[in-house]
Structure 1
């Protein structure tokens, strides 16, 4: 099933799109948008080759519709929204970001996804000037960042980003970047630097001076660095609540191939275990 959206799909709060039991591609049309909503689950979809919508009269709630201007061409756009779970999605080749979260969005988990063939992969916080993004909390866990990726896995402004047990097998510029003093905790990831070129550094903070970014808390704990990859740490030591037994605990980077082997959309069939 290929769903081509003529214009962006506006999600309402307390909604789930679950593609288990079918091979669903949202492709060759406009994006999915969560704007000023909460409690959303997107699961088991292929999202690729999306482009900007032209704008139209679009319903954005059961009781309202209005004129939407041209959309960006993201895969998934999260705008002023919270409690979002994006799980087991295969994503590639969209016009803008694969997943962008901006304007005070928070409580976001991106897990078990497979991403490939894209430049600007994920952006958390759209503006250095928008301080309300300081409340942003995002977890990026158990994803496979695969072939043809360039940068922003993710790029972060403000907020707190936990990058845990992901497999970074390809990047051309960098994996994790940021500006405006985000806190980035990288735990138990596998970073395989490209074999060609000089892009061995996992991190990028070129948007700030050395004097500024050295005060940001960016820490690497239990990561597996391969083929010359290296993570430039900064800031104070970070004592993580994730070390407690009653919450999510990062595994060492050597476990990543097992933890991410089912990343992306699952081949589930109705009536059979998924």
Structure 2
């Protein structure tokens, strides 16, 4: 263990007086004429149906479970732990992954019954191995600075109905599991799972992907997240030969793909992907890519290319048979704003019925995203105020 990590862990265990020293998620860079804030003193409708559903409620703390009624897109049926009791995490430790202590996140997230998991204070949780979250769980960090960092992070394996909200996930690393096998070092790994909603998280600097969904996972919404400082951001699809991903459906909405991102925002295989009302800023290789004939509907996004003349293209295909193959794939851009030379290469049948099948939500005009600062990533929610 490095001397830096030893010092860091010492600070976490000595006194709550060190809470102010916890690293905080980076603020979203200002790029419009609006105010830069992840919290609002007053509240009005924004046109973002998720945020408009709950963020104006001053009593959000008492009405936490109303969040489960606010999802849109393919993951809209995820109820998380709505039917269960509240469980408060009071212990940031993770001493024994096989026999987790009551009060820890691992203990709560691995229980058999539905639970809505909240936190009693700011905390940085450094795990010894990834937590394999069970079905019908909500991990809700609102009201505190809750981080999962500097160790393995979260895995969803053969589960359903999981909501992950308002958590700062960063510096995730691979690790051996007590019962065999290894985690990859993803921020959030989704395998053979469905009805998943990841909302208002900040993710950066993980060993593998920030969010990966593979192995036949489906009905997923990834929304309002701030992603930055990472290479391979998001993989959706196991491999080109795994036909089980043909039924994958993922909505990627209202996210901010920020500074220091290289590629895979997302990288898709097979399946159906609705990419709507996101902001992409200065990717270093490409923004949206894929192989194995995925259907991609890019709608109402803002793509801001860097000044590098070689990274203006939004899209990238990987095809064994070259252009003749990928030109049949249905990739469509509708109502996107292309700035600083950005361009999207469409393919396939623009009027394909597949686009109707995959229209998971109504897109706002991209022009509105250029005048309203994105309220993404973790939120600084205050008691008795709109969040």
TM-score between the two structures when normalised by the length of structure 1: 0.92
Report the equivalent of 1:17: 139
Q: 1:149 to 1:160 in 2, by over 3 A?
A: same
Distance 1:185 1:164 in 2: 8
Alignment of 1:67-146 (within 5 A): 67-146=179-258
My pick for the range that moved more, 111-120 or 207-216, is: 207-216
Aligned: 1:268 with 2:342 = no
Q: Could you tell me which of 311, 327, 350 is aligned with 1:237? A: 350
Report the equivalent of 2:151: 29
Q: 1:243 to 1:253 in 2, by over 3 A?
A: farther
TM-score between the two structures when normalised by the length of structure 2: 0.65
Give the superposition deviation at 1:68. Answer: 3.2
Corresponding pairs, count: 262
Distance 2:239 2:262 in 1: 21
Report the equivalent of 2:7: none
Report the equivalent of 2:340: 227
Report the equivalent of 2:264: 152
Q: List runs of 5+ in structure 1 lacking aligned partners.
A: 57-66
Bigger Rg, structure 1 or 2: 2
Give the superposition deviation at 1:269. Answer: 2.4
Distance 1:103 1:140 in 2: 19
Distance 2:344 2:287 in 1: 10
User: Which structure 1 residue ranges, 4+ long, deviate > 6 Å from structure 2?
Assistant: none
Report the equivalent of 1:248: 361
Q: Which has the higher helix share?
A: 2
Contact 1:88/1:111 (8 A) holds in 2: yes
Distance 1:24 1:207 in 2: 41
Q: 1:189 to 1:98 in 2, by over 3 A?
A: same
